[in-house]
Amino acid sequence: MSLLGIESVLVAGRGPAACAVMRSCTRLGLKSVAVHSEAERGARHVRMADEAVLLGPAPAAESYLAVDRIVEAARRSGVGAVLPVPPALAGNSRLAAAVTNAGIRWVGPDAEVLERLGGDGVEPASERGLLGWVTADGLRFATPVSRDRAAGIARVSWTQERTGGTPVHLPPGAHRLADIGWRGLVTVGISPDGELAEVAAGFSLDMAVLERAHGVDAVELALRSGAPAGAPAPRDGGPQAAVAVQLRSTLPPGTAGTVTGPLPGDRSWSTTDAPTGAGVVAVSGYDPGDRLDGWYDALLATVSAGAPDTASAARVLAEALADVLADVPDTGVPHDGAQVRAVLERLAAGRPVPTA
């Protein structure tokens, strides 16, 4: 399959998010090219790709975040497009300009738009947010989300409940993103007064909420973002409620480890007694035997579920995690699975906000 003339993509990123993109590329019939540091020659995202290119030494500034090396890797591999995964790359206006100047398609907002709106490359930190897809036709698949946060990191994200069938209010600025030239996936933070706060491109950690809520593939949306106005778009398979969790290692910063036991692997499934239409999707960044390097983000896996309502989605997700993470030591590295399950249990009981 060729999407807008793209047959091969360089996936700029690592970890579970890059693994999710690799899986989507396979489904879409696209050749995927991974990039990696010297410390991650055998990383899972590298093994999943059709081809891999070494960027440089372990420090991210000399490999995963090195603009010149990413562009050179794209040239050498002959890809048709560069698809940046984390906001740190997707919001990098210098990288966007360098890729475009090299005659390679940049999958995301143009450099000049990023300079004005999304050049900081930071995951939105607000407890309320909005996910969406912006094309020439405007904002699509708008998905308001709430987040439980720990140490400034989104640990659990979920769709905001609709009351009596009424649509969730969106900040006026969200509808102006298309007018100012933003194209592609967008994650925004919403301030307490209801206005847009942070704006980020790329595959934020709670993008799985949008996928489960609307039954779409974020990679396909990203690749279709450059289509002209009126072009066919993926059908909205929802909307339904969705919850996503990010499972992280709790090793001290800079400490390496080895994954020796099971993590939620790449699969989709339904759990026992799940409501009609409910399902779980898991993406792991590691297999048993893989090294968790102290240089990088400690995200181990993302797991998400969709269901008719938020409580049901949380129950489905809690059951799925309990099956996989019943015994913490078996994973080989400590993680925050117990804390994540506590948040899910609260959501399943209809309590989004902790009670004293």
pLDDT at 102: 97
φ, ψ (nearest 5 deg) of residue 251? -60, 145
For the chain, helix (H) and strand (E) counts, in that order, are: 10, 16
Report the CATH number of the 8-107 domain: 3.40.50.20
Sign of the CA dihedral running 118, 184, 144, 25: negative
For 37-92, give the secondary structure using H, E and C: EHHHCCCHHHHHCCEEEEEECCCHHHCCCCHHHHHHHHHHHCCCEEEECCHHHHCC
The CATH fold assigned to 128-224 is: D-amino Acid Aminotransferase; Chain A, domain 1 (3.30.470)
pLDDT at 155: 81
The kind and range of the H/E element at 345 are: helix 337-348
pLDDT at 52: 98
Q: Which CATH superfamily includes the segment(s) 241-348?
A: ATP-grasp fold, B domain (3.30.470.20)
For the chain, the residue count is 356
Domain boundaries, the chain: 8-107, 128-224, 241-348
Sign of the CA dihedral running 17, 234, 95, 114: negative
Per the structure block, which two tokens stand in for 355?
Answer: 């009670």
Instruction: Specify burial of residue 153 (Cβ count, 10 A radius: 0-12, 13-18, 19+).
Output: middle
Instruction: Specify burial of residue 144 (Cβ count, 10 A radius: 0-12, 13-18, 19+).
Output: buried
Residues 6+ apart with CB under 8 A from 286: 44, 259, 263, 292, 300, 301
pLDDT at 164: 47
Tell me the CB-side half-sphere exposure of residue 9, using CA atoms within 13 A.
31
- Candidates 41, 33, 44, 88; CA nearest to 66 is 88
| Whole-number Å distance between alpha carbons of 144 and 121 | 20
pLDDT at 98: 98
DSSP reduced 3-state for 351: coil
Report whether 183 contacts 226 (CB < 8 A): yes
| Whole-number Å distance between alpha carbons of 249 and 301 | 10
DSSP reduced 3-state for 28: helix
Q: Quick check: bond before 171 cis, omega within 30?
A: no
Are 8-107 and 128-224 the same fold in CATH?
no
**Tell me: the pLDDT tens digits for 72-96?**
999 999 999 999 999 999 999 999 9
Residues 225-241 as b or e (16 or more Cβ within 10 Å = b)? bbbeeeeebeeeebbbb
Confidence tier at 319 by pLDDT (50, 70, 90): confident
- Cα 203 to the center of its chain, rounded Å: 4
**Tell me: the pLDDT tens digits for 59-73?**
999 999 999 999 999
**Tell me: the pLDDT tens digits for 100-155?**
999 999 999 999 999 987 555 677 778 889 999 999 999 999 999 998 865 556 58
pLDDT at 12 over 60: yes
Residue carrying the six token digits 């925004």: 188
Taking residue 16's Cβ as centre, other Cβ atoms within 10 Å add up to 30
Confidence tier at 267 by pLDDT (50, 70, 90): low
Per the structure block, which two tokens stand in for 192?
Answer: 């307490």
